[in-house]
Structure formats: C-alpha cells, structure tokens
Structure 1
Amino acid sequence: MAKDRRKTKSKYTADRQMPGAFEGETVTRRRFMTGTTHVAGIVAASAFALPALGFAIGPVFEKVEVRWEPVGVPDDFDDRTYIPKTITETPGIGEVGKTTVYVRKHNESIDGPQKDEYDGFIAISTRCMHLGCPVRFVPASERFICPCHGGVYDFQGKRTGGPPVRPLDRFYTRIRNGKVEIGPRYSVNSELKRFSPRYPGEPLDGIGQYLYPSRPTARKLPPPQS
C-alpha cells in the first residue's frame, strides 16, 4: 500500500502559526470575539424583526366577524338626498370607534342597475380619500366637501376636485327584518368598482390597484342571496 503522506492539520493555533496565537488554543481570541459579535448582532436584529414580522402576518390568521348595524326602516330614506347616520365601525373602543355614514336609496337613473342585494341603499363614508379628514354632504350643491384641503365629490361620491385620489368609500347595505342595515366598508375606483378597503391616499385606478393590495383583515361577505 502506498504510504499516506497527507499530514494531519493540528487543531492548535500555535502549531498553525496563526498571528496572535497562544499555546493550547484551538480558536484565536480574534476569531472568538468576531463570532461573538456576529451572534450578538443576529440576536439584536431578531429582537426587532420578529415582533414586526408577527405584527405583519398575524392578521392573516385573524378571524374577523362581519357586523351589520340597523340604521332605520326603508321609508326613512329617499333616493334624492342623503340622511346622516352614526354607526359603530370599530367596536370595543367607545366613541372613537363610531363614524358618520350618509345613506340614501339606490337611484337607478343615477346609479344604474342594482348590482346585488347589498346595493339597494347607498351608504357613503365621511372619510376623505386624501388624508382621511371628515367630509360633509351639502344638499344645496349635492356635493361632498372636505374642509381640510378642498376635496370635492359629486352626488355619487366620485372625486370632482382637489387632491383626493379616488371616490369616497362605501358600506355594504341590506334589509333584514324590515330594517336597513349597514355592513362592512369597501373602497371603489373611479368606475365605482368594488375593492376591499384601502387607506386614504391609495388610488385604485390602473396600476394603483396592484401597488396597494388589500389588507389581510378585509372582511368578506357571503354570496348574495338569490
């Protein structure tokens, strides 16, 4: 057999003639300190990254209940003007969770054919789609006006002037037990196509609908009843 001439490499740093080595060492202090620093850095980064990651993906596993709140009987509303109603959009936080909604009947000459059972009444959000300031409906001009930065919306809630990037959000509506009920909020583009809720300042026309995807906690409705 051929003699194995490979020389076994010593595990001691002094035998390997490493700079700064001491007798009996297997790892230099420099390498040990470098490794320790790297480990400490990973631990510190994880302390910040893991909670943020949990906050980001946690809502994916959250079960969100669809809430419906009665605001009156059908005869309380007509199709030519809006009636303001107060609803609880976010329960459990008191008055802060309440919001004003402008409600009217669906008007086919203005709104076109009714889409489904959730479209019998039009419920408009009062949150401006610029920075979220509260808007108000002015009956004399049939416009929604934002006093903060001059946002203007027409009778359907479509933007007609100012900095808002899309129409006012809406709420699903339905009739149950003789009552008009307000359900989850949804967003619309300039053609009033429905999207899951987006934040103010996020456009939904063109590439905007892809740049600003839906939130994981967006409430999904059951299919309309036939």
Structure 2
Amino acid sequence: MSDRNAKSPERKSRYTKDRGIPGAFEGETITRRRFMTGTAVAAGGIATAAFALPALGFALGPIFERTEPSRWQDIGPEEDFSDNDYVPRVINIVPEVGEAGRTTIYVRRYNPRIDGDANSDQPYVAISNRCMHLGCPVRYVSASQRFICPCHGGVYDFQGKVFGGPPVRPLDRFYTRVRNGRVEVGDRFSLNSKLERFSPRDPSNHLDGLWQYLYPSRPTI
C-alpha cells in the first residue's frame, strides 16, 4: 500500500469540551485551560511563600543575631558586690522612653562553688526582676535567698532557677563585664533549665527541648 493511501492521524480538538476534560465549558481551549491552571498554581505558590518565608525568617533569625552587647551601663565599683548575696541596681533598658524604660536588676559576683561552669565567662551574675510567667516584677528576699513573684506565687532559687509556682524557665540575666574596677551590664539574655544561654525570649516562652524552636527571639522584647 502506498503512502498516499495511508490514513492520516486524526487531529485532536483544541477545545476542552470536545476532549471531555472535567469542568470544561463552551469555547474553552486547551491553551486557555493550561494558562489558567499555571496562573492558579503560581498564585498559590506566591501566597504560600508570603506566609512561609516570614515565618522561616522569624524562626531562623536568632541564629544570625549578634551576640555581643550593644550598650553597657555602669552600676558601681566592684567592692559594692559580694558573691553570697544580691545587690539591687536600677538600669535603663529602653533609653528612648526615659523613666518608663528603667528596671531593677539584682547583682552579685560569680561564685564557682554555686554557679559551676554555667556562664562562667560572666564575672558577675545580673538577674532580671521580670517573672518568667507573665512578666510581673519579682523581688529578692535575702533571708530566704529566694526571688518571689507576688502576682501568681512564682518562686526562684538563689541562681534564679524555678523553685515553685507557674514560671516556665529561670529568670533572665544580663551580660556583665568589669572596666577600670567598675561593674558594667549589657544586654539581656534568657536561660533554659540548665542555665544554657539563649537570645531574649518573652515571659511564658519555654526554652527546653523542642520548645526553643517554637518560641524564637523577637528584636522588640
């Protein structure tokens, strides 16, 4: 049989309705269907990225944060502090708002017998007075060597670890250093139950195990 008599293949219709494609309507072409499908997929990808990328950056951002304090505040000469009791000092954590940005911290010398190797690079222990339950101010009771929160009964031991009540982690601390015989405090950092150091977290944010990834640091706290 010659090639002339060979039957040419049947050409497929360019319309989706003729091909029985689900959801087809009169006059819709295959090209239009593919274009609309591609547009919908692209729009979905953009919407997903709009939600996913900020969340990913929020979670991974603390990894790339600076670790050195940006501002140091003088809180007095070294002879004002001992290694067996805390001394209250007032610092300004938000200079832009004046008196409203001031807070109380409790300071003592680093004591290897009490503190072990945890944060041994810090010559002083400077503890925040903000409770790690809901942020109420705690006070140090020298007679019992405990930090007490009057709001909901949170209690912390001499190192600032949770001793009782609803707080979820130890009290935050501040970086410390000594310059020309005077003690200075820098930025705040948070701790987990093992006193391992983390970038600052909000009160009520856990830092043990997988919780540390669910509560990333925020630059505004």
Q: Tell me how far 1:59 sits from its aligned partner.
A: 4.0
Q: Distance in 1 between matches of 2:202 and 2:127?
A: 15
How many residue pairs get aligned? The number is 210
Deviation for aligned residue 1:202? 3.8
TM-score by length of 1: 0.69
Summarize deviations over 1:38-85 as a string: whole Å, max 9, x none: 479739946962784486269466667623221111112223332222
Deviation at 1:123, TM superposition (A): 0.8
In the TM superposition, what is the alpha-carbon distance from 1:185 to its structure 2 partner?
A: 2.4
- 3-state SS of the aligned residue for 2:188? strand
Query: Are the counterparts in 1 of residues 15 and 30 from structure 2 also a CA contact under 8 Å?
Result: yes
Contact 1:198 1:212 in 2 (8 A): no
Aligned partner of residue 78 in structure 1, secondary structure: coil
- The aligned residue for residue 103 of structure 1 is 107
1:85-100 pair list within 5 angstroms:
85-100=89-104
SS at match of 2:209: helix
Q: 1:210 aligned to 2:215?
A: no
Q: How does 1:1-226 map to 2 (within 5 A)?
A: 3=6, 5-12=8-15, 20-22=25-27, 26=29, 38=40, 42=44, 45=47, 49=51, 52-53=54-55, 56=58, 59=61, 66-67=69-70, 68-112=72-116, 116-118=120-122, 120-204=123-207, 208-213=208-213, 215=216
Q: In the aligned structure 2, how far is the partner of 1:5 from the partner of 1:114?
A: 83
Aligned equivalents of 1:137 and 1:203: distance in 2? Answer: 23
Deviation larger for 180-189 or 190-199: 190-199
Alpha carbons 1:117, 1:174 under 8 Å: kept: no
Letter of the aligned partner of 1:111 in structure 2?
A: D
Question: What is the alpha-carbon distance in structure 1 between the residues aligned to residue 195 and residue 17 of structure 2?
Answer: 77
Seen in structure 2, the aligned counterparts of structure 1 residues 47 and 123 have a Cα distance that, compared at 3 Å, is same
2-structure distance, mates of 1:56, 1:196 = 13
CA contact (8 A) 1:21 1:28 kept: no
Q: Give distance in 2, aligned partners of 1:175 and 1:131.
A: 32
8 A Cα contact 1:82 1:102, kept in partner:
yes
Residue 172 of structure 1 aligns with an amino acid whose one-letter code is Y
Q: In 1, distance between residues paired with 2:130 and 2:40?
A: 48
Secondary structure at the residue paired with 2:88?
Answer: strand
Amino acid aligned to 2:105? V
Q: Which moved more, 1:95-104 or 1:190-199?
A: 190-199
CA spacing shift, 1:199–1:210, aligned 2, 3 Å: same
- The aligned residue for residue 223 of structure 1 is none
TM superposition shift of 1:184: 2.8
The answer (yes or no) to whether the contact 2:199–2:217 under 8 Å persists in 1 is no
**AA matched with 2:84:** R
Q: Which amino acid aligns with 1:153?
A: Y
Distance 2:91 2:14 in 1: 74
Contact 1:143 1:154 in 2 (8 A): yes
With structure 2 as the length reference, what TM-score do the two structures score? 0.70
* Cα RMSD for the two superposed structures: 4.0
Could you tell me how far apart the structure 1 residues matched to 2:154 and 2:112 are?
26
- Return the letter of the residue paired with 2:197: R
